[in-house]
Amino acid sequence: MKKFLLMILSIMTMILFTACGETKTENTDQKSETEKVASSSQATTAEANKQSKILVAFFSHTGENYQVGVIEKGNTHIMADMIVETTKADKFEIKTVKPYPKTYQECTEVAKQELAENARPELSTRIDDISNYDTIFLGYPIWWSDMPPAIYTFLESYDFNGKTIIPFCTSAGTYMTGKEVNIPQIAKGSTIRDGLGVVGKDCQDDPEKVREAVNQWLASLGY
């Protein structure tokens, strides 16, 4: 009788282990299939990005800046160059006819007044034919928790229908303004993808840290 019970127990144990093995294999197969789908999706995105004509447009402020003193190359400009380096995109700097004050305090006061008045400063630079581009990386410093007025002028100056806009910005922290979600409402017909915010001070003091963050972000977008 004991032999019979041991035989039954042995058979049940074998069945249990076999079932567990099959479940593990099934889960592994499912995981493998999911990874294949994700990999295929990334490859498709990367291929589409290769075919896309890209522009990096940015507005940046030089002179006295927060936490870094007087600078000759703006924080956002430095970040824009990193994106250009990786994506091999064309570069366009957004400039205003009337330059902003070089001193930090004066510049913040002018920016605050312009934002309060919903001003649209005239731009001194213009893209010859924006229809040449499918994707536009749009960069700017955060001013009073908003995009600079010059960015609003830029977004209202062209036909962005069917174009993808990818925002990036510099500020006192690693965050976006929150206002970037409104870009498709200003640039009619455009779509927006996930942006990136970096600490402006790091662009001057620790550019490699910024470069790493930029490259990780670009890789997540398929670039």
**Domain CATH number, residue 173:** 3.40.50.360
* CA 8 to mean position of chain CA atoms: 62
Report the pLDDT value the prediction gives residue 33, as an integer from 0 to 100.
56
Across 21-51, b (16+ Cβ under 10 Å) vs e yields: eeeeeeeeeeeeeeeeeeeeeeeeeeeebee
The pLDDT of residue 47 is: 58
Q: Within a domain: residue 67?
A: yes
Confidence of residue 175 (pLDDT cuts 50, 70, 90): confident
Return the pLDDT at 66.
87
Q: Does some domain include residue 127?
A: yes
Provide the domain limits for residue 164: 53-221
Look at residue 27 and tell me if it is in a domain: no
In a domain, 4, yes or no: no
Share of the chain above pLDDT 90, in %: 73
**Could you tell me if residue 18 is inside a domain?**
no
Encode pLDDT of 36-78 as tens digits: 444 444 545 555 556 679 999 999 999 999 889 999 999 999 9
Is the pLDDT confidence value at 83 over 70? yes
Query: Given this model, what pLDDT does residue 8 score?
Result: 42
Within-domain flag for 98:
yes
Average pLDDT, the chain: 85
Q: pTM of this prediction? A: 0.79
8 A C-beta contact, residue 182 and residue 155: no
**203 within domain boundaries:** yes
Q: Positive or negative CA dihedral for 165, 166, 171, 175?
A: positive
Residue 99 has pLDDT above 50, yes or no: yes
**Does residue 22 lie within any of the structural domains?**
no
Pairing state of beta strands 69-71 and 63-65? antiparallel
Please give the Cα distance from 209 to 223 (Å, whole number). Answer: 19
Report percent pLDDT > 70 for the chain.
77
Which pLDDT score, from 0 to 100, does residue 22 have?
41
pLDDT, residue 6, reads 41
Domain count within the chain: 1
